[in-house]
Amino acid sequence: DDCVQLGPQGWTSCQSGEHVAVYGPVHGQIIGKVHAFSREEVDQAIGRLQEGFQSWKRMLLTERAQLLHQWADKLEANRAELAELLMLEIAKNHRDSLDEVQRSADFIHYTAEEGLRLAGETLFGDAFPGQTRQKVSIVGRVPLGVVLAIPPFNYPINLAVTKIAPALMGGNVVVLKPPTQGAIAGLNITRLAYEAGIPDNVIIAITGSGRVIGDYLISHPRVNMINFTGSTQTGQHIASKAIMVPLLLELGGKDAAIVLADANIERARDNIVSGAFSYSGQRCTAVKRVLVVEEIADQLATAVAQKVMTLSVGAPEADSVVTPLISNEAADFVWDMIHEAVAQGAVALTPLRREGNLIYPVVLDFVTRDMRVAWEEPFGPVLPIIRIHDAEEGVELANASEYGLQGAIFTQDVSQAFLLAEELDVGTVQINGKTSRGPDHFPFVGTKASGMGAQGVRYSLLAMTRLKSTVLNL
Ligand code: G3H
C-alpha cells in the first residue's frame, strides 16, 4: 500500500487520508500528492518492520543478495519512467536522471556482492598477558535493527538506495523517509523493491509533513540507526535529538578547487565548470569556490567564464546543464548572495539573469574573505573566484571553512599536490579532478560540519552492522 499511481489528477499515493502536495520546480504546479503519515501510522509501520526484522535477519545471505539483485534489475527495467519522475519532481536533466537510476542499480548489485564478502575474525586469548588459548572469540557482524534512511531532494533515488541497499544486505530493516520533492520517486523505488520480492515489512516508505513526523521519527525509541543526507543544520538537529543512536551523516560542503601556477588550465577549467554547475550546483560536492594563484588568475577566470557562457540553461527535458532550482526560496537565497557580493565589490563575469527559480550560471571574480559567498553554501549556480598568493594561502583559506567535505588541487607537480593534500582537512582530496562522490565504492567522508562516519559500499555495510563477539571457553 506504499505506492503512488499516475491518474488524471497526477500522481497520488494509494493510501487514503491526509496528503502532502508535491510541487514540480519547473512550473511550480502540483504534480502529485503523497500520504501524510500520522504518528500512530509511524508506530504501526515501525512495528511491522520489527516483525519483518525477525525473519529478514535470519534469511540466508545469498537469498538477501538475490533479492537485491532483482531490485536492481527492476530499477534498470524502469529506468526511463524513473528518470521522467526525477525531471518532473526535482528538475534534474534527462541525461543525469538516467545516470542517477543506472548508478543506483549498479550500486545495489555491487552492494549485494560485497555484502557476501563481509567476514569476521577469530581471536585467541593467549595473545593477552595472563590469558590462555582456551578462550576463543569468534567475531562476526550483526545488523543494528531498524535503520532510518533520509535522502535529500537532489538524489532522491541514488541517495535512498545508497542507504537502503547496505542496510538490507546487512540484515536490517528500513524506514525510508523521502524528501517531499522526490517522494514520488522514493515511493516508486519502494514499490519496485516489493515487486522484486523484498517483503513489505522489510522496507516501508513514510511520507508526510516534517512538522508532524520529523522529530517523532528521529527520536523514535525503536529506530536503531539513522543515515541522513542533507543540510548541516538538519544534521545537527538530528544529532541533538537522536540519543545513543549511531549516525551516518552526509551534510553540507564548501569544496575548494585550488589552482596553482603550473596547472593545466584547460583541464582545471573543464573540471571546475562541470564540478560547479552540473545540476545547477545543487550537489553537496559541487566546486563551491576557486582559489587561484595571482599569476594565472586572469587567464583561468576568463577561461572559466567563457566556458560557463556556453552552458545550456533551461528545461530538464532539453538536457540543460542549468535547470530551475528546487524552489523559489532556494533561488532567492542564491540570488541575494550574488547581489550582496557584487555590492561588496565582486565582479560578475557573466550576466546576472533570473527567470523565476531559474538562475543563469554566475561566475564571480575578485571575491574576498568578507563576503558571504566566500563561506556559505549557496546550493545554486554561482562560483566565487578568490585570488591567493600561494599554495599555503590556498590551504589556509580552504581549511578556514566550517565544512570539510572535499577539496581539489590542480597542479602538474604531483609531489606538491600530495603534500598539500595531507594538509587539507577534508574527507577526500581530488588531484587534478573535480570534487565528486563516486565511484561509489570509494570512501565518502566529511570532516567538521560536513558529516560523520564513512559511506561507500563497504564502508556503509560496516556502518550499518556492528561487531558481535561469541567467546568459547574451552
Ligand atoms: O549531494 C551530495 C551527493 O552525495 C553528491 O554526489 O558528487 O555524485 O554529485 P555527487
Active site amino acids? 250, 284
φ and ψ of 385, to 5 deg: -110, 125
Query: Is any atom of ligand 1 closer than 6 Å to the C-beta of 249?
Result: no
pTM as predicted: 0.97
Query: Is any atom of ligand 1 closer than 6 Å to the C-beta of 271?
Result: no
Q: Is pLDDT of 442 > 90?
A: yes
Query: Is any atom of ligand 1 closer than 6 Å to the C-beta of 191?
Result: no
Asked if 357 and 330 touch (Cβ cutoff 8 Å), the reply is yes
Quote the CA–CA distance of 257 and 300 in Å, as a whole number.
12
The alpha carbon of 437 and the centre of ligand 1 are apart by a number of angstroms equal to 5
Q: Mean pLDDT over residues 18-34, rounded?
A: 94
Atom of ligand 1 nearest to the CA of 282: 1
Please indicate whether residue 302 or residue 4 has the higher confidence score (pLDDT). Answer: 302
The reply to whether omega before 439 is within 30° of 0 (cis) is: yes
The alpha carbon of 156 and the centre of ligand 1 are apart by a number of angstroms equal to 11
CA 119 to chain centre: 27
188: left (phi over 0), alpha (psi -120 to 50) or beta: alpha
Atom of ligand 1 nearest to the CA of 437: 7
The alpha carbon of 162 and the centre of ligand 1 are apart by a number of angstroms equal to 11
> Residues 112-168: pLDDT tens digits?
999 999 999 999 999 999 999 999 999 999 999 999 999 999 999 999 999 999 999
Sign, CA torsion 51/52/55/61: negative
Q: Is pLDDT of 1 > 60?
A: no
Query: Is any atom of ligand 1 closer than 6 Å to the C-beta of 436?
Result: yes
Query: Is any atom of ligand 1 closer than 6 Å to the C-beta of 278?
Result: no
Query: Is any atom of ligand 1 closer than 6 Å to the C-beta of 356?
Result: no
The DSSP annotation for 319-365 comes to T-SB---S-HHHHHHHHHHHHHHHHTT-EESS---EETTEE--EEEE
pLDDT at residue number 2:
65
The alpha carbon of 436 and the centre of ligand 1 are apart by a number of angstroms equal to 6
The alpha carbon of 286 and the centre of ligand 1 are apart by a number of angstroms equal to 8
Query: Is any atom of ligand 1 closer than 6 Å to the C-beta of 282?
Result: no
> Residues 319-371: pLDDT tens digits?
999 999 999 999 999 999 999 999 999 999 999 999 999 999 999 999 999 99
Atom of ligand 1 nearest to the CA of 154: 1
The alpha carbon of 317 and the centre of ligand 1 are apart by a number of angstroms equal to 21
Atom of ligand 1 nearest to the CA of 278: 9
Q: Mean pLDDT over residues 221-236, rounded?
A: 98
pLDDT at residue number 16:
79
pLDDT at residue number 451:
98
> Residues 367-422: pLDDT tens digits?
999 999 999 999 999 999 999 999 999 999 999 999 999 999 999 999 999 999 99
Quote the cell numbers at residue 17.
Answer: 487520508
Query: Is any atom of ligand 1 closer than 6 Å to the C-beta of 437?
Result: yes
CA 148 to chain centre: 15
Which residue(s) pair with 271 in the sheet?
none
